[in-house]
Amino acid sequence: MRNPAEPESFRLVIPSQTRYLNLVTGMAKRASIVAGMDDATSAKVSIAVDEAVTNVIVHAYNSEADHQVDIELRFMPQSLEVHICHNGRAIRENEVVLPDPREYVKHPRKGGLGLLLMSRFMDEIRYIETGEGSECCMIKRVV
């Protein structure tokens, strides 16, 4: 039985393969709507989750297909929390450099846009290292 003191949540554990992305983003979008967000906001959450899970598969696991990505969605009183956990190479907060869109427009290049989309579409992003692995925690508040 669920401890009433803990938030309602559910988890999805996927193999580290991009073919499961659509499944995860679909789930994130539906969860956002259940949390009380409108269609436009839920679409943003789903894109942010796509980018975060892609980062784990491609960068943390170096596109190796035989690992796992653990995605947990927590329904908090005024927000939706998305916790993406893995055992691959950790992304550290101080390594995250967001490209400046104004500079990007002047000097276009491939890559580096996913983190920017995540930061623009979510209210808060934290990178946490636990004893069991690494976690990207993204929060979207319900307004």
Partner 1 sequence: MADLLIQVHEVDGVAVLRPEGFINAHTVRQFELALEALVHEGKYAILLDCRLLNYISSAGLGAIMGLIETVRENGGDILLCNLQKNVFEIFDTLGFTQLYRVFATEGEALKCLNGTI
Interface residues toward partner 1, by CB under 8 A: 18-19, 21-22, 25, 40, 43-44, 46-47, 50-51, 54, 57-58, 101-102, 104-105, 108-111, 113-114, 116-117, 120-121
Nearer to partner 1 by Cβ, of 30 and 120: the residue is: 120
Cβ atoms of residues 122 and 139 within 8 Å: yes
CB of 2 to partner 1, least distance (A): 33
Nearer to partner 1 by Cβ, of 23 and 34: the residue is: 23
Cβ atoms of residues 74 and 80 within 8 Å: yes
Cβ atoms of residues 20 and 14 within 8 Å: yes
Nearer to partner 1 by Cβ, of 54 and 87: the residue is: 54
Q: How far apart are CA 49 and CA 47, in angstroms?
A: 5
User: Secondary structure of the chain: what % helix, strand, coil (to 5)?
Assistant: 40, 30, 30
CB of 42 to partner 1, least distance (A): 9
CB of 54 to partner 1, least distance (A): 4
Instruction: Find the angle CA(8)-CA(10)-CA(13) to the nearest 5 degrees.
Output: 160
Nearer to partner 1 by Cβ, of 85 and 121: the residue is: 121
Hey, which bits of 16-100 come out as E strands? 68-76, 79-86
